[in-house]
Amino acid sequence: MNNPYETPGLISQYLLFHYGKPDEILPYDEAPHSALDFAVRAVTEMVDFDLLPARSRALDLGCAVGRSSFTLSEKCHEVIGIDFSHASVEAAQALAAEGQLPYDRIDEGAMTTRLVAHLPEGAHPQRVQLIQGDAMNVPTEVGQFDMALLANLICRLPEPTRCLERLPDLIRSGGQLVITSPYTWLDEFTPRDRWLGGYVDGDRPVVTIEVLEKSLRPHFKLERRQNLPMLIRETARKFQWTMAEGSLWQRL
């Protein structure tokens, strides 16, 4: 399966999504401003940092262009971000090394505006390791973590169950797991017979969060669920507004 997240257009879109200033993304008073800064809020609103040890290790699985990894580095001693997209990882690595990265925002048709993504204030890039890799086959060499974030990842995997099965070995007892997803199951990413939810079995609707709880229950306890709005700008007048669900789990 070709990875659509390697294209320059989508990398620029995600740099804007992760690092864009509010007026660069959404300059309209009538717009849903609460949906901005999703990559930051997925960390700050979901992770209970008070329960993490002083020298905690964090895993950002499906890190994209890295904003959540850098946000985690403000509190965590070590962060490993993994993404399947070479281009996304290279963009995040460039930000870590140079502190900034120029990109082109699409405004209308072929018209663009040159913007610059900046390393977030308070981030500690020396604590962050960014790796190209497969969320369904995380190498054992990365070790174990005190928390793991899977932001909008599970419904983009060819075999999401393989990723879930790997999590108990990746997270220490007492550690935290944060999953966010809009549960947008699409055949282009996940074959239908591998969807975790979003279909009817006989006369019974199969709901993703219920399947997640059943799958994770032997090793994790569901602590909290929360709505997390998000907004991706496509052009100056076209946006994707999405309501992801965030869930916080504790490793038993």
Give the mean model confidence (pLDDT) for residues 71-90: 98
**Distance from C-alpha of 152 to C-alpha of 80, rounded to nearest angstrom:** 17
Whether residue 184 has pLDDT greater than 90: yes
Q: What proportion of the chain, given as a percentage, has pLDDT over 90?
A: 98
Quote the pLDDT of residue 63. Answer: 98
Pairing of strands 238-251, 220-235: antiparallel
Give the mean model confidence (pLDDT) for residues 179-200: 98
Give one DSSP letter per residue of the chain, joined into a string. Answer: ---GGGSHHHHHHHHHHHH--HHHH---TTS-GGGS-HHHHHHHTT--GGGS-TT-EEEEET-TTSHHHHHHTTT-SEEEEEES-HHHHHHHHHHHHHSEEEEEEEEETTEEEEEEEEPPTT--GGGEEEEE--TTS--GGG--EEEEEEES-GGG-S-HHHHHHHHHHHEEEEEEEEEEE-----TTTS-GGG-SSSEEETTEEE-HHHHHHHHHTTTEEEEEEEEEEEEEEEETTEEEEEEEEEEEEEE-
Residue in 4, 71, 9 with CA at minimum distance from that of residue 37: 71
The predicted-structure confidence for 105-162, as pLDDT tens digits, reads as follows: 999 999 999 999 999 999 999 999 999 999 999 999 999 999 999 999 999 999 999 9
Q: How confident is the model at residue 209 (pLDDT cuts 50, 70, 90)?
A: very high
**Distance from C-alpha of 225 to C-alpha of 246, rounded to nearest angstrom:** 6
Give the mean model confidence (pLDDT) for residues 167-192: 98
Quote the pLDDT of residue 222. Answer: 98
Q: pTM (2 decimals)?
A: 0.97
Q: How many domains does the chain have?
A: 1
Give one DSSP letter per residue of 205-237, joined into a string. Answer: EE-HHHHHHHHHTTTEEEEEEEEEEEEEEEETT
Residue 241 CB: number of other CB atoms within 10 A? 11
Non-local (6+) Cβ contacts of 187 within 8 A are none
Quote the pLDDT of residue 64. Answer: 98
Q: Helices 160-170 and 208-216 meet at what angle, rounded to 10?
A: 40
The predicted-structure confidence for 22-76, as pLDDT tens digits, reads as follows: 999 999 999 999 999 999 999 999 999 999 999 999 999 999 999 999 999 999 9
Residue 154 CB: number of other CB atoms within 10 A? 24
Q: How confident is the model at residue 202 (pLDDT cuts 50, 70, 90)?
A: very high
Instruction: Write out the two tokens for 211.
Output: 């399947």
**What does residue 123 show for φ and ψ, rounded to 5 degrees?**
-75, 150
Output the furthest CA–CA distance in the chain (Å, rounded).
55
Give the mean model confidence (pLDDT) for residues 220-230: 98
Quote the pLDDT of residue 5. Answer: 82
CATH code where residue 57 lies: 3.40.50.150
Containing structural domain, residue 39? 4-251
Q: How confident is the model at residue 2 (pLDDT cuts 50, 70, 90)?
A: low
Quote the pLDDT of residue 40. Answer: 98
